Chain A
Amino acid sequence: MRRYKGVLLAAAMVAIGMTGARAQAPKTTLTVDMPGDVATMDPQLQWDTFSYTVYRNIFDNLVTRDTSGKIVGQVATAWHYKSPTQIVFTIRNDIHFQDGSKLTPQDVVFSVRRITNPAFKSPQLSQFDQITSAEVTGPNQVTLTTKTPYPVLLAQLVKLSIVPQAYVEKVGDTKFNEHPMGSGPYKLQDWQHGVQSVLVANTGYWRGKPPFEKVVFRAVPQDATRIADLRAGVADIIQNITPDDARALTSDHAVKVLVTPTERTGYLFINAQWGPTKDVRVRQAIAMAIDRNSLISALLGGYAKPVNILLTPASFGYQPDIKGWPYDPKKAAALIKEAGAQGATLTFLTSPAYPQNVVQAIQQMLDQVGLKVVIRMMDQPSYLRAREGAPQGAGSLGFGLWSCACQDADGTIWPLFHTGSIWSKYSNPAFDKAVDAARQTIDPKARLADYHTAFAILHQDVPGIGLYQADALYGARKELQWTPTPNEAFFVMDMKWK
Chain B
Amino acid sequence: MLRHIAGRIGQAVVTTFGVLTLVFFLMRLSGDPTLLLVPQGSSAQQIAVLRHQLGFDRPLIVQYVAYLQQLLQGNLGISLVQRMPVASILGGRIPYTMELAAGSILVALGIGIPTGLVMAVWRGSLLERALAAVVFAGQSMPTFWSGILMILFFGVILGWLPTSGVAGLPSLIMPSIALGALSMASFARMTRIAVLDELSRDYVAAARARGLSLGATVARHVARNAAIPVVTVTALEIGNLLAGAVIVETVFAWPGIGQLAIQAIASRDFLVVQAIVLFVSFVFILMNLLADIVYAVIDPRIRFGH
Contact = CB atoms under 8 A, between A and B. Distances in A.
Contacts of B41: 126, 404, 411-412, 414-416, 423
B68 interface: no
A83 interface: no
Given A177-B84, A412-B41, A232 B156 contact: yes
Interface string A162-179: 000000000001100110
Interface residues of A, number: 70
Contact of A46 (B37, B163, B166): B37
A424 B284 CA distance: 48
A102 B139 CA distance: 62
Interface string B250-265: 1111010001100100
Nearest to A224: B148
Nearest to B41: A415
Interface stretch (A3-11, A62-70, A141-149, A489-497): A3-11
A128 to B, nearest CB: 10
25 contacts: A3-B166, A7-B168, A21-B163, A118-B49, A121-B53, A123-B38, A123-B39, A126-B41, A126-B50, A174-B83, A194-B259, A219-B255, A220-B253, A221-B250, A222-B250, A222-B253, A224-B148, A225-B163, A228-B155, A381-B33, A381-B268, A384-B35, A384-B36, A403-B40, A411-B40
A18 interface: yes
B30 interface: yes
B163 A229 contact: yes
A21 B160 contact: yes
Contacts of A6: 167-168
Contact of A14 (B35, B47, B152, B169): B169
B157 to A, nearest CB: 9
B268 to A, nearest CB: 5
Interface string A118-134: 11010111110100000
A402 B40 contact: yes
A232 B159 contact: yes
A127 B260 contact: no
A125 B45 CA distance: 12
Nearest to B27: A381
A7 B102 CA distance: 15
B43 A421 contact: yes
A391 to B, nearest CB: 14
A228 B152 contact: yes
Contacts of A18: 160-161, 170
Contact of A415 (B30, B40, B151, B263): B40
Interface residues of B, number: 58
Given A228-B156, A415-B40, A422 B47 contact: yes
Interface in B231-259: 250-253, 255, 259
B161 A21 contact: yes
**Would you list the 5 A-B pairs with minimal beta carbon distance, nearest first?**
A10-B168, A194-B255, A22-B159, A415-B41, A123-B37
Given A46-B37, A232-B155, A125 B49 contact: yes
A50 B227 CA distance: 48
Given A118-B49, A193-B89, A218-B253, A10 B39 contact: no
A174 B46 CA distance: 24
A404 B40 CA distance: 6
Interface in A89-141: 118-119, 121, 123-127, 129
B165 A196 contact: yes
Interface string A24-47: 000000000000110110100111
A39 B168 contact: no
B35 A385 contact: yes
A34 to B, nearest CB: 10
Nearest to B268: A381
B35 A126 contact: no
A339 interface: no
B229 interface: no
A379 interface: yes
B92 to A, nearest CB: 5
A432 interface: no
A231 B155 CA distance: 9
Contact of B169 (A7, A177, A192): A7
A279 interface: no
A10 B253 CA distance: 18
B178 to A, nearest CB: 12
Contacts of A22: 159-160
B43 A126 contact: yes
A488 interface: no
A20 B170 CA distance: 10
A310 interface: no
A231 B168 contact: no
B26 to A, nearest CB: 12
Nearest to B36: A381
A359 interface: no
Given A10-B168, A47-B39, A196-B165, A40 B82 contact: yes
Given A218-B253, A222-B253, A421-B43, A177 B83 contact: yes
Given A129-B46, A380-B266, A121 B31 contact: no
A382 B54 CA distance: 19
Contact of B162 (A231, A234, A379, A405): A234
B183 to A, nearest CB: 22
A315 B47 CA distance: 25
B16 interface: no
Contacts of A225: 148, 151, 163-164, 251-253
Contacts of A322: none
Contacts of B266: 379-380
